Structure 1
Amino acid sequence: MVQQPDTDQQPSLSAEDETDDPEGASDHTMTETPAPDPEPVAVPVSKGQVLRAVAGRILFALGASLALAAVVHGMLEASLRMESDEPTLLGPALLSFGVLWVVVLGVVGLVGSLRAATVVVLTLGLVLAAVNVVRMDILLIPLSFRDVVFLKDPAFLAEMVPMADLVKGSVAVVVVAGLLTLLVSRAGRRRPRWRRGRPGWLGWLAFRGVAVALAVTLVLLAAGFNQPGNVVRGAYDRSGADWRPWSQSRNYLLNGFVGGVLSNLPTDPMATPPGYSRATMEKVAERWAEVAEQRNKGTDPDVLARTNVVVVLSESMGDPAALQHATFAEDPSPEIHALMRAGGAQMISNFYGTGTSSMEFAVLTGQNTTLFKPQISSPYQQFVTDYPHYPNAVGWLKQMGHRAVAIHPYSPHMYQRTDVYKNFGFDEFIDRDSMTERARLGKGGFISDRSAYREVLRELRESDDPMVVQLVSMQNHLPYQGRYDDPIGVSSDKPIRAQVVGQWARGVKGTDEAVAEFLRELTTKGERTIVIQYGDHFPGIFSDAQVRAEGLDMYRTPFFVWDSAHPDGVAGKDAGLVGNPGGGAVAPNAAMQLALQQVGASMPPYFTLLAEVQEKVGVVRGRTVLTPQGEQVPIKELDEEQRALVRDMKLVQYDFSIGERYVLDEMWYPAGK
């Protein structure tokens, strides 16, 4: 029989024994030159002891990872609810927690240490939650995988979030990671390290492999979340998920942070419309060529060839007059409202608080972004750059001899505009670093609209050819705190962030004055110029209560078409917008064809189709329509003629965007193939 050694020398299988030195060591010596330690005597361990030790280790890992997942899940959910107490649906919440648990367990298996996994998981969870709080505060849109694009432009992050806050946040992350490392190392001193060769080590290794394999499998399955038949999506649907992709804040609140992130994973931009084929598209093109021929009688096919076209997206320019639950001490935009009466309307934005590039895309391409899948919030980043050329109004105008220039007084990398503008056919892109004038309005503000308009004037003066100029302004982009010393007073019957809203309104006033000055300059230029200006969205600065109370009004932005040949409107002041006789709201993708009608130009079949949809159907918003009479109705309740118009618009949009472009030549212009 083998003699039992001292307990200090016994290799432990207990989950509670901490012995980084399995051989042990003697605490005292009897001589000045200590004798060598005796060889440790092997202790027989039964198979049952090994199994119990491995099972204990695995159960502890399962419990610890469950606790970690609960903490991270709580942090992420709390980051969504800083200003909302709307509960998450129970089924999706439990499923999201389960998904997160499997991922955390995979991290434990990958690093092989509960201590290291705790530091990694909690630090990453804290960072995601904190960033989500900041993003929700600025844009009211939660984090998604698409946000990695902002990492390419750290200057944008620095301007959106004060540098002091970024430094504080970075220091806080380092401090938290350090404290976590200290705490888990102290708490784990009695926890043994499971070294190679130790009894049960292979069992623990097998568990780690299973955990990693399970997590990787789940991640791979979830990557196709938006594909038909996806098992993870099916599980969410069976759990009672209520997807609200048109309102991402509610989408995340209802289905949980994890569910919201999964629902925004990449997907095909648009499902293939029923019946799509070359033969179908040729019939569509033939039909709309006939309609265009009839509508173009009496128009001027050459007017645009001798006319400058200026398209202006006015950043964060919602229409203050549209709000029913806010009263301003003065009208922030009297000049713009006069221009809207003379030749404009309210445009219906696709988003509240965000969506600038989506609106820019819709106006330039004539494509209705609500007809894409709900996950498509930024076509520029999600599919436009997948093509060497993409059909748009710039390419069409260049066929008539226009020189194309894009101006954006900010970073050229935002929304991949550098690549997109090349794709669209712009000859030059002027960003903030290449502008001649860079004056700023207010303290810490962005380059002013006055400076941006002067850049447009400079380009028009220096060109001998007719021009198409695309300007995306930046002046009124948030944050607004402390920007102006004299914010416009505002009151509301709902809880409101009056100080911030007043700061925004003062910036709108500055834009209004800059617009008036810009148009006065254009009247003296001697060349015919049309200006198409619209707001992209209201800024995300209003309280949840007011956003709910305003409803669709929080999506109304100013839109006007101004013609230097008729500065007071085609038929005189307050004549209204040609092509919109009822004065109804305007869809973003209808803007260009409305401008053509305003100046009496002939329209290609594609714009004729968009005109008929605007006039006879209204603003198509996914599954609903805002009619010319101002009523919101489901598409399924439209009459047959209206539904046929929407079907044709979907077919043409699919063909021009991700389809084969069978009829691009026939319906618009020969480019992009």
Structure 2
Amino acid sequence: MRKKYRKDYGSLTIFIACAMIILQRVLNSAITIPAYSINPGRFYLYSFLQATVVIGTNLIPLYLGYHYKKIAQLKVYHYLSRFSFIYILSALVANIFFYVQSNVLNLRDYWLLFTPISQNYLTYAVSCILLFISIPYVIRFLEKQPSPTIKRFLLFSTLLLVGSSTLFNKDPFALQNGNNIIWIFYLFLFGYGLKKWKWDEKIRFKIPQAFIALLFLVGTILFMVQISLIVRGNADTATRFITPHSLFTMYYTVTSFLSFELISEKLKLKASGTFLATLLIVTQIVCNWSLVTYRVSVFMKREFPNSGRAWLLNLGQFFGYYLLAVSLLCIVLFYLQKIRFVQRLIEFFAFDSLDELAAKCHGVKNWIVSHKSYFFVALFFYLFTFTQIFLLEQRETWKQSIKIALEIFTQRQAPMVLTVLIIMGFFFLLLLLANRFWYAFTATLIINLLLTISTILKMEMREEPVFPSDLKMLAGLSELMSMVSPIVFIAGGLVLIFLTFTSVIMQRRLQKKYSVNVHWKRRIIGILLLSFCFSGVFFINQKNSPSFILFNLFRVNKTFLDQKSAVKDNGPIIQFLNNIDIQIMEKPEGYSEEAINEIMERYNTRAQEINHTRNEWLANQTIILNLSESFSDPDRVPNLTVHNDPIPFVKSKLAEETSGLMLSVGYGGGTANMEWEGLTGLSISNLSASLVTPYTQLVERQDISPNITNLFDEKIAIHPFTAALYRRRQVFDKFGFDQFYYVDGPDELAYTDTIGRNPYISDESAYKDTLRVLKSNLESSQFIQLTTMQNHMPYDDYYDELNYTAEGTAVIASRYSELQTFMQGLHYTDEAVKEFIQEIDKIEKPITFVFYGDHLPSLYSGNDSRRYGLEQRQTDYFIYSNKYSREQSNQLFKEVVSPNNFAPMALEQANIKVTPYYALLTDVANQLPALTIDPTQSVSNRFNGEQVFVTEEKQMIHLQDLHKEQQQLFTDYQLIQYDLVAGEQYSASWAEQGIQDYQK
């Protein structure tokens, strides 16, 4: 009997309603909506399809009303737990799918799971659930009312809701295209009337009438197009009646519904209520979950301006994808509910009445009260974490303090909650080990106090947090004391003594009240489990590890480029843990001192061969590496057409000089990584996935850091911005730069003009400073690292003139003004480069000028970052030799390069001798395809993807695709890089020798 009852629901109406909802979602978000003025035929086809499926959302509440007798007998509250289970699992699957697809994880996507009503993003589904819960009460109420009263109310509601929506070109009752709860309850009442007073039996020829109703509805489109063209001159009101609550749509809804019910009854198409509920919830999640709709509408929508067939085929494909996703997920979740463990879980949370729910809530309250001491500890450390972050912020007035406090509470809840979870995990581990509440609490507090105070002191002295490597300084306590005031140590010692003494007293006096009664088996299991969890700190930066996903889920700032800002965002504890998992580079097979010596000998000989054809170094030889912030030709971006060229001069140099495309390891950021590759000749693609910013994570760990400055007498860096990011001051000091010009630095910038309202120093000013440095030394060899900043994001309303336009789906409409600002900035850079080259041609010393963009701006969010990963990691470069050096220079032909190729390429173009290390780098540049990280795996700039090579034909290949000689060369290069960055540095002195040292 139970089986028969479970199957006693007609299924055809629900199946068709779900299919209509799916197709409606495809029409609204997955394809480009056609305009009548551009393509009338496609517009009519689109509108006819919209008219056909517009009733999908009407059918479900109508169905609930029509089958009110069966539904009213259900324990509706009991089914809430089952619905919640389906809802949560469906949403989790959607989130996980898009995380796997695009490595994008956002805490908000999971917070939405628990706030569907307040977030107002599943309005229709929530309205239907509220209707379902209310059905027993509504039916009891209706059964007590006289039938004439209900009929009059239904007639009045129809005239009010349907009539007004039909007569007026507005939505006077805010029915929201059928999502409003008022409209949902009205349809339920209408379905109730169809069944209660057997109106369905009085309607004859149901199926023919359904087709006639659809023809009427489609006819309104044809009619309204003509009316709209006459009145408005366009077709904007053509689909005025294609709404769920117009008179024509209601006629189509009722006749179609009765037709589906008739067919379902005759063919005995039945399904269980659980299956139908699963299908409905899955359909709503797949079609309306905010993450799904966003990803589909922004990244998967395609335009087919020249092919209606392709457009229609794309529509069909998307409908098929949605239908397949709904079907598979529905089947999996339906059978998952049959598993005994899942059934028990659902039953545990189920309740049959509000009184039973209140009893369960009371039980939870009692459990919280019995464990209140732990909740007080969590609350204490929550406030402690807030204080940590608050003390790291600069504040001068009370108003600033209040503003900062509000920002922390409103914008940094995720890392604060994660910090509390970490602290509480550590507290419970100590508690299980010591079995003493106050000892565990005090030890946890002392450790957090030490980390907090150390971070504050270090931020004041060096503008960076405490790193795990700083623990080595504990061995040199005397040196540490000389850096910090003795008062701090005395006060810290007194606090430590006070806390220790207090904990002993509290533990003795309150031992019974705070006793921990945990069976020894559970203690061991708890200790092992917590220890296992904390072992995840050694894998925090390993792609897709549980700790990596957890930190991403809580929106931890993991860019590493600005440790000062990151510790303010994350707090001292998370930032400290963030810097633990830094594996520099995997040890290559065959690494040994003998292998490194053999390689050095090989390239000693190779350097002699290369130098046999090269000229001697001139005394005033100069090389400039110019990284131009975000410089890239927008006309090369897929799905973007630029109407007028903003960079004509640079393009002329690209056509005339050594030039091509540079492979960036970042998109929208990562400037210093390109600097590091250019200066050291090493490749980030050889480093581990977790080492994403060598400046902050690697350079300080090296005893010796060989780089191109070793070849020159004078080394100068110019960066017209602050030097706080990427720890440039410390890095450039270690690299051996004699002078570093930056904003507010000891070596002052002479030119700091900006353009319009742009806050960044202009490229013209940066080039003037460079010319000043060039002209100040005409006698000794000189290397200049120039990083310009004019085109750095954001791209706000900076310029009075915006002379450059573009169109295409690569840039979403809301960011088009940013694109215009960016292109105007490119134009100013183009003019500055032109003037700079004209000036260096007048200087009588050999100058080799390497110009390149570091990465594309993060403006092209309309493009799929995986599909166009390589194209959106390619910038422009050229190498120019001034007039004084042109006679001895060589033009190179290298279409695709990486930043690590620039130094040997500059030496080769200048036709000057090399050291053995640069002989190796020269062979890497000339004989290997360009090295980079797979752009389809590292779209977030938060980890390094798989290493790939990119050929001159712009094809990605792997190491096994190289021929034997190339593989041997790469092995030599990889072994030397490992030795320099993570090994014993057997080759460090060899790699850093200058040309004079080598010739001696």
2:962 is equivalent to residue 638 of structure 1 = yes
CA pair 110-170 structure 1, distance change in 2 beyond 3 A:
farther
2:548 is equivalent to residue 313 of structure 1 = no
2:730 is equivalent to residue 414 of structure 1 = no
Deviation at 1:262, TM superposition (A): 8.6
CA pair 607-321 structure 1, distance change in 2 beyond 3 A:
farther
Which residue is 1:584 aligned to?
Answer: 895
- Alpha-carbon distance between aligned partners in 2 of 1:614 and 1:109, rounded to the nearest angstrom: 69
Q: Residue type of the partner of 2:768? A: R
Which residue is 1:201 aligned to?
Answer: 513
CA pair 175-642 structure 1, distance change in 2 beyond 3 A:
closer
2:359 is equivalent to residue 359 of structure 1 = no
Which residue is 1:65 aligned to?
Answer: none
Which residue is 2:55 aligned to?
Answer: none
CA pair 628-491 structure 1, distance change in 2 beyond 3 A:
same
CA pair 114-451 structure 1, distance change in 2 beyond 3 A:
same
Q: Is the 8 A contact 1:500 1:541 kept in 2?
A: yes
- Alpha-carbon distance between aligned partners in 1 of 2:714 and 2:372, rounded to the nearest angstrom: 57
Normalising by structure 1, what TM-score?
0.65
Deviation at 1:417, TM superposition (A): 0.8
2:660 is equivalent to residue 345 of structure 1 = yes
Which residue is 1:491 aligned to?
Answer: 807
CA pair 172-412 structure 1, distance change in 2 beyond 3 A:
closer
Q: Is the 8 A contact 1:615 1:628 kept in 2?
A: no
Q: Is the 8 A contact 1:534 1:557 kept in 2?
A: yes
2:787 is equivalent to residue 476 of structure 1 = no
- Alpha-carbon distance between aligned partners in 2 of 1:328 and 1:261, rounded to the nearest angstrom: 46
Q: Is the 8 A contact 1:123 1:176 kept in 2?
A: no
Deviation at 1:413, TM superposition (A): 2.0
Deviation at 1:358, TM superposition (A): 0.7
Q: Is the 8 A contact 1:495 1:546 kept in 2?
A: no
2:743 is equivalent to residue 432 of structure 1 = yes
Which residue is 1:404 aligned to?
Answer: 715
Q: Is the 8 A contact 2:704 2:988 kept in 1?
A: no
Deviations 1:396-454 (A, max 9, x none): 22xxxx21111111112211111111101111111112211111123142111111111
CA pair 168-329 structure 1, distance change in 2 beyond 3 A:
farther
2:861 is equivalent to residue 543 of structure 1 = yes
Deviation at 1:123, TM superposition (A): 11
- Alpha-carbon distance between aligned partners in 2 of 1:198 and 1:667, rounded to the nearest angstrom: 65
Q: Residue type of the partner of 1:441? A: I
Which residue is 1:554 aligned to?
Answer: 872
Q: Is the 8 A contact 1:109 1:209 kept in 2?
A: no
Which residue is 1:648 aligned to?
Answer: 972
Q: Is the 8 A contact 2:915 2:994 kept in 1?
A: no
CA RMSD of aligned residues (A): 4.9
Deviation at 1:591, TM superposition (A): 0.6
- Alpha-carbon distance between aligned partners in 2 of 1:319 and 1:430, rounded to the nearest angstrom: 28
- Alpha-carbon distance between aligned partners in 1 of 2:880 and 2:824, rounded to the nearest angstrom: 24
- Alpha-carbon distance between aligned partners in 2 of 1:438 and 1:75, rounded to the nearest angstrom: 41
What is the correspondence of 1:600-619 to structure 2 with a 5 Å cutoff? 600-619=911-930
Which residue is 1:378 aligned to?
Answer: 693
Q: Residue type of the partner of 1:504? A: F
Q: Is the 8 A contact 1:111 1:117 kept in 2?
A: no
What is the correspondence of 1:162-173 to structure 2 with a 5 Å cutoff? 170-173=405-408
- Alpha-carbon distance between aligned partners in 1 of 2:887 and 2:635, rounded to the nearest angstrom: 21
- Alpha-carbon distance between aligned partners in 2 of 1:282 and 1:383, rounded to the nearest angstrom: 24
- Alpha-carbon distance between aligned partners in 2 of 1:535 and 1:109, rounded to the nearest angstrom: 62
- Alpha-carbon distance between aligned partners in 2 of 1:506 and 1:234, rounded to the nearest angstrom: 43
Q: Residue type of the partner of 2:806? A: V
- What percent identity do the matched residue pairs reach? 25
Higher relative contact order (CA 8 A, sep 6+): 1
Q: Residue type of the partner of 2:631? A: M
Which residue is 1:500 aligned to?
Answer: 818
Q: Is the 8 A contact 2:685 2:931 kept in 1?
A: yes
Deviation at 1:606, TM superposition (A): 2.3
Q: Is the 8 A contact 1:394 1:404 kept in 2?
A: yes
SS state at 2:784 partner: strand
Which residue is 1:33 aligned to?
Answer: none
Q: Is the 8 A contact 1:624 1:632 kept in 2?
A: yes
2:843 is equivalent to residue 532 of structure 1 = no
Match of 1:594 among 901, 905, 911: 905
Which of structures 1 and 2 has the bigger CA Rg?
A: 2
- Alpha-carbon distance between aligned partners in 2 of 1:443 and 1:205, rounded to the nearest angstrom: 66
2:615 is equivalent to residue 300 of structure 1 = yes
Q: Is the 8 A contact 1:626 1:633 kept in 2?
A: yes
Match of 1:114 among 375, 380, 395: 375
Deviations 1:432-491 (A, max 9, x none): 122111111231421111111111111122225332111111111111121223332121
SS state at 2:883 partner: coil
What is the correspondence of 1:235-250 to structure 2 with a 5 Å cutoff? none
Q: Is the 8 A contact 1:605 1:668 kept in 2?
A: no
Match of 1:462 among 765, 770, 776: 776
Deviation at 1:375, TM superposition (A): 1.2
Q: Is the 8 A contact 2:846 2:885 kept in 1?
A: no
- Alpha-carbon distance between aligned partners in 2 of 1:547 and 1:667, rounded to the nearest angstrom: 37
Which residue is 2:462 aligned to?
Answer: none
- Alpha-carbon distance between aligned partners in 2 of 1:598 and 1:110, rounded to the nearest angstrom: 73
Deviations 1:28-69 (A, max 9, x none): xxxxxxxxxxxxxxxxxxxxxxxxxxxxxxxxxxxxxxxxxx
Q: Is the 8 A contact 1:301 1:602 kept in 2?
A: yes
Q: Is the 8 A contact 1:285 1:667 kept in 2?
A: no
SS state at 2:845 partner: coil
Match of 1:515 among 828, 833, 838: 833
CA pair 362-177 structure 1, distance change in 2 beyond 3 A:
closer
Which residue is 2:710 aligned to?
Answer: 395
Which residue is 1:658 aligned to?
Answer: 982
CA pair 512-528 structure 1, distance change in 2 beyond 3 A:
same
- Alpha-carbon distance between aligned partners in 1 of 2:697 and 2:734, rounded to the nearest angstrom: 14
Deviations 1:80-129 (A, max 9, x none): 96965799xx9xxxxxxxxxxxxxxxxx999945267369659979x99x
Whose helix fraction is larger, Structure 1's or Structure 2's? 2
- Alpha-carbon distance between aligned partners in 1 of 2:791 and 2:545, rounded to the nearest angstrom: 42
Deviation at 1:346, TM superposition (A): 1.0
- Alpha-carbon distance between aligned partners in 2 of 1:458 and 1:609, rounded to the nearest angstrom: 34
CA pair 121-334 structure 1, distance change in 2 beyond 3 A:
farther
Deviations 1:358-388 (A, max 9, x none): 1000000000111000111111100202235
Deviation at 1:539, TM superposition (A): 1.6
- Alpha-carbon distance between aligned partners in 2 of 1:578 and 1:109, rounded to the nearest angstrom: 79
- Alpha-carbon distance between aligned partners in 2 of 1:238 and 1:422, rounded to the nearest angstrom: 36
- Long gaps (5+) in structure 1: 1-69, 91-107, 129-147, 156-163, 181-193, 242-246, 249-256, 572-576
Q: Is the 8 A contact 1:604 1:668 kept in 2?
A: no
SS state at 1:224 partner: helix
What is the correspondence of 1:152-163 to structure 2 with a 5 Å cutoff? none
Deviation at 1:336, TM superposition (A): 1.6
Q: Is the 8 A contact 1:318 1:555 kept in 2?
A: no
SS state at 1:550 partner: coil
- Alpha-carbon distance between aligned partners in 1 of 2:537 and 2:600, rounded to the nearest angstrom: 38
- Alpha-carbon distance between aligned partners in 2 of 1:500 and 1:211, rounded to the nearest angstrom: 55
- Alpha-carbon distance between aligned partners in 1 of 2:370 and 2:824, rounded to the nearest angstrom: 55
